[in-house]
Structure 1
Amino acid sequence: MRNVGITAFVFWTVMLGTTVPTPLYPLYERSFGIVPVEVTVLFAVYAVGVVVGLLTLGRLSDQIGRKPVLGIALLLSAAAASLFLVSDNLTMLLVARVISGFSAALATGAGTAAIGEQLPASRKWLGPVLALLANMGGLASGTMLAGILAQWAGHPLRLSWIVDLALIGVGLVGLVTVAETVRRTRPTFRFQRLSIPHEIRGEFIRASAAAGAGFAVLGVLTSVTGILLGTELGRDDPALTGFVVFLGFVFTAAGQLIDRRLPPSGSLPAACVSLVVAAGLIAWAVLGAALAPLLAAAVVVGLGTGTAVSAGLRAIATGVPAARRGEAFSAFFAILYTVLAVPAIGVGVVIEYANLHWAGGIFSLLVALLALTVLISLSRRRPVSG
C-alpha cells in the first residue's frame, strides 16, 4: 500500500497546483491591471491544455509506464508554478496555465491507472475511490490552501507557489521509490479520434449535457467568484473565495460517491434537478448580492455535477466495447473540459460590456434551460405502462 499512497500523493499534488490561482485572480487583476474577461481567459486556457493533453498524450503512460508520466506531470507542474512565481505580466500567466493543463491531463490518466494496478486483487474496488479522492481532493485543496495563505500570510502572489513547489519536491522524491506497473514499449504520438459511441448515443449525449452544465457552473464559480465577492458583496477575501470553490469540488466528489448508491435510472434526473436548483441559487446570489445562496449553489452544483459525471462514466464502462472505451472516455472528458472553458469566457465578455448582474442572470438561465431539456428528454424516453 506504500506505492499506492505515494502515487495518490503525487496525483493530489499535481491537481492541487491547478487550482492554486483560483483565489488569487482578483489579486492578479489588480496587480497586473487585467480586466475580468482576461481573468476568465486565464482560467479557460487551462482547460485547453487539458483537452489537448488528453487527446495527444492520453495513451503515453500505457507505452512508457505510469512512473515516467507521473514524473513528467510533476515537472510540468513545477514549471507552471515557477512561471507563476516570477510572473509580472498576463502572457506569462497564460503560458503557466496551459502547462498546468498538460500536467493535469498526464496525471489524471497515469495516476488513475497506476492506483488501480498497485492495489492487491482483494482491494481493487478501492482504486476508483482513491483516484477520485486524489483528483478532487487536490482540486479542492489547492484553492483552499492558496486562499488561506493569501488571506493571512505575507506575499500572497508568491508564497502559495513556494509551498506548491515544496510539495512537488516531496512528490518527486517519493516517486523515485515507486515500482513500475507497466511493461514499456516504444511511444507513438497520434491525435485521439473523438466520436460519440453509437451503442449509447442518447445516454451519452444526455449525460454529457448534464455533466457539461455542471462543469460550466464550476468553471464560472472558479473564475468569477472572487470578482463577485469583491464587487457585489464587498468581501475582498481570498480565503472565502477559496472556500466557495472548495465546496464545489468536495461535493462533486461526494456526488460521484453518492451516485453509487442510486438506481441507474435515477442518476441523471437527480443531477438535472440539482442543476436547476443551483442555477436559481446563482441568480439569487448575483442579483441579490447574497453570500448564503452562493455557498448553497456550490454545494448543490457539486452534487449534481458529480452524479452526472458518474452516470456518464458508468454508461461508457457498461455499454461500449472495450476496444473503443478509451476513445469514448476521451470524447466525454473533452466535451466536459470544453464546456468548462467556453461559458467562463462568455461570462467575462458580458461582465466587460454590461455588468455582473446581466452575466449572472443570462448564465443561470442557460444552465437551467439545458438541465430542463435533459430532464424532459429523460421523461419522454421512459416506457409508458398499460
Structure 2
Amino acid sequence: MTTVTSAHPDAPPSVPASRIWLAAWPVVAVFVLSNAATPLYPLWRERLGFSSGTLTVIFAGYIVGLIAALLSAGVLSDRIGRRPVLLPGIALALVACVLFATANSVVALGIARVLTGIAVGAAVSAGMAAVADVAGERRSGLAALAASTAMVCGAGTGPLLAGVLAQLVPGPTVVVFVVEAGLLVSAAAVVYWLPLPAVTAKGIGWVRIPGVPRANRRALALGVAVFAPGITATSFVLSLGPSLLVGLLGTSNRIIAGGMAFAMFAAATGAQFLARPWPTRRVLLLGALPTVAAMGTLALTLTTHQAAGLLIAAILAGTGQGLGQFGGLTLLFTGVPDTRRAEANAALNIGGYIPAAALPVTAGYLGDALGTAWGAGIFAIALGTVAALAAAFVARG
C-alpha cells in the first residue's frame, strides 16, 4: 500500500510568477550543457578523426545516460524529494564540463555525454516536478509553460553560446565549459534556496519503468505520440546539422551552426507561449504537423542544395518539439497526482528520447555507407511518416 506524506501539498495562490520562473532556472542551466557541444564537434572531429557514425554515437551517449537516469530519477524524486536528486545531478554536470574541457579521445567525449545525459535526467524528472511543486495546483498551467520553455530555452542557448565563443575566443573547448560551470553553480544555489516540499512516497520500488496511473495512460500516449517525433527531428539537426551545413553551404562557421540550433529552440519557445491559451488537443495536433512539414522541407533541401531550407526545416522541427512537449506536460501536470509527477515526466521523456537516440544514429551510419544526403533523406521519409500517424492519432483521440 502506498502512503504519501507532504509538508507542502500545494503552494498558495499568491506564489509570485517570478518564483515559479526562478524554480525553472536549474532546468535551463543543465539543458545549456546538453547541446553546448554541438558547434564544437567539427573541432573535435578534426583533432581526433572520427566518422559521422561515430559522431552520432557520441551524441546518443547523452540519450543513453538520460534514459538510464530516468529509470530511477523520477521514482527516486517522488520518494525522497526533489533536492536530493537535483544536487547530485548538477554535480555530475560539473564533472562532464571538466571532461569536455580536457577531452583528448572519443572515449572521454562519450563519457562526458553520458554524464550530461544523467544530469539532464535529473533535471527533466526532479527539476520539472520542482517547478510544479513551487507553483502549486492552482498555477499548474504556468508551471507547465515554465518547465517546458526552460528546457527548450536552455537547449537553444547552449549551442548559440558555444558557437559564438568558439568562433571569437581562443581555446573554445575550454572556455565554453568554464562558462557553463558558472551557470551550474548558480543553479545549485537556486536548488538549495528554493522552498521545496518534502515529498515522501512509500511502498514503491527504487528502480522501475516509469509510468502513470491507469487514468492518465491515454494522456501519456498522446503526449509521447507528438513529442517523440518532434524531439527526434531536433536531435537529428543537433547531431548531423553541422555536417549538412558543410555539405550544402561549404562552411564550418561555428556561429552559423550554433545560430541554427538557437533558431530551432527559439521557435520551440515562441510556439509554447503562443499556444498557452489553446486547448491541449489543438496544441498536440498543431505540434505534429510542423514535424511533418520539417521532414518534407529537409527532403526538398537535399535535392535543391539550398542551405536556407535546412534552417526552415530546423525551425519547423523546433516548433513541433515545443508544442508536443508543452501539450504532453500540460496533460500530465493537470492530471497526474503530485506524488507521481516526477515519474510521469520521466515516462514522457523516455518515450521521446528512445527514438531520438536510435533514428539519428541509424541516419548517421546510413550516411557513412550511402552518403550523407541519402542517410538524411531516408530519415526524413521515415520520421515524416511517423509524425503524420501521430497527427491522425491525436485527431481521433
The equivalences for 1:215-226 within 5 A come to: 215-226=231-242
Partners of 1:201 and 1:117 in 2: CA distance: 22
The equivalences for 1:336-351 within 5 A come to: 336-351=352-367
Please report how far the alpha carbon of residue 263 of structure 1 lies from its aligned counterpart in structure 2 after TM superposition: 3.5
Change (3 A) 1:72 1:370: same
Partners of 1:200 and 1:60 in 2: CA distance: 20
2:159 is the counterpart of 1:143: yes
Q: Which amino acid aligns with 1:373?
A: L
| Farther off after superposition, 196-205 or 127-136 | 196-205
2:317 is the counterpart of 1:301: yes
Q: Which amino acid aligns with 1:128?
A: A
Partners of 1:16 and 1:209 in 2: CA distance: 26
2:373 is the counterpart of 1:353: no
Partners of 1:260 and 1:3 in 2: CA distance: 19
2:86 is the counterpart of 1:89: no
Please report how far the alpha carbon of residue 113 of structure 1 lies from its aligned counterpart in structure 2 after TM superposition: 2.7
| Farther off after superposition, 333-342 or 286-295 | 286-295
* SS at 2:207 equivalent: coil
2:263 is the counterpart of 1:247: yes
Q: Which amino acid aligns with 1:336?
A: G
Change (3 A) 1:123 1:214: closer
Change (3 A) 1:50 1:187: farther
Structure 2: unaligned runs, 5 residues or longer? 1-15
Change (3 A) 1:102 1:377: closer
* SS at 2:173 equivalent: coil
Please report how far the alpha carbon of residue 82 of structure 1 lies from its aligned counterpart in structure 2 after TM superposition: 0.4
Q: Which amino acid aligns with 1:95?
A: I
| Farther off after superposition, 267-276 or 93-102 | 267-276
Please report how far the alpha carbon of residue 369 of structure 1 lies from its aligned counterpart in structure 2 after TM superposition: 1.5
Aligned-pair identity (%): 28
Change (3 A) 1:110 1:315: closer
2:283 is the counterpart of 1:267: yes
Contact 1:42–1:97 (CA<8 Å) still a contact in 2?
yes
Match of 1:288 among 304, 315, 328: 304
Change (3 A) 1:121 1:212: closer
| Farther off after superposition, 267-276 or 145-154 | 267-276
For 1:74, the equivalent position in structure 2 comes to 90
* SS at 1:262 equivalent: coil
Partners of 1:240 and 1:187 in 2: CA distance: 51
Match of 1:45 among 50, 61, 65: 61
Q: Deviations over 1:47-103 (max 9, x none)?
A: 111111111121333344333332212211100000111110000111111111111
Contact 2:78–2:339 (CA<8 Å) still a contact in 1?
no
Change (3 A) 1:199 1:70: closer
2:272 is the counterpart of 1:256: yes
For 1:182, the equivalent position in structure 2 comes to 198
Q: Deviations over 1:134-182 (max 9, x none)?
A: 2221111111100110111111221101111222233344544444432
Structure 1: unaligned runs, 5 residues or longer? none
* SS at 1:48 equivalent: helix
Computed over aligned residues only, the root mean square deviation of the Cα atoms, in angstroms, reads 3.0
Partners of 1:98 and 1:254 in 2: CA distance: 29
Contact 1:63–1:187 (CA<8 Å) still a contact in 2?
no
| Farther off after superposition, 16-25 or 258-267 | 258-267
Partners of 1:75 and 1:217 in 2: CA distance: 29
* SS at 1:76 equivalent: helix
Match of 1:34 among 38, 50, 61: 50
2:33 is the counterpart of 1:17: yes
Match of 1:154 among 170, 175, 182: 170
Partners of 2:136 and 2:219 in 1: CA distance: 33
TM-score (norm 2): 0.85
Change (3 A) 1:257 1:53: same
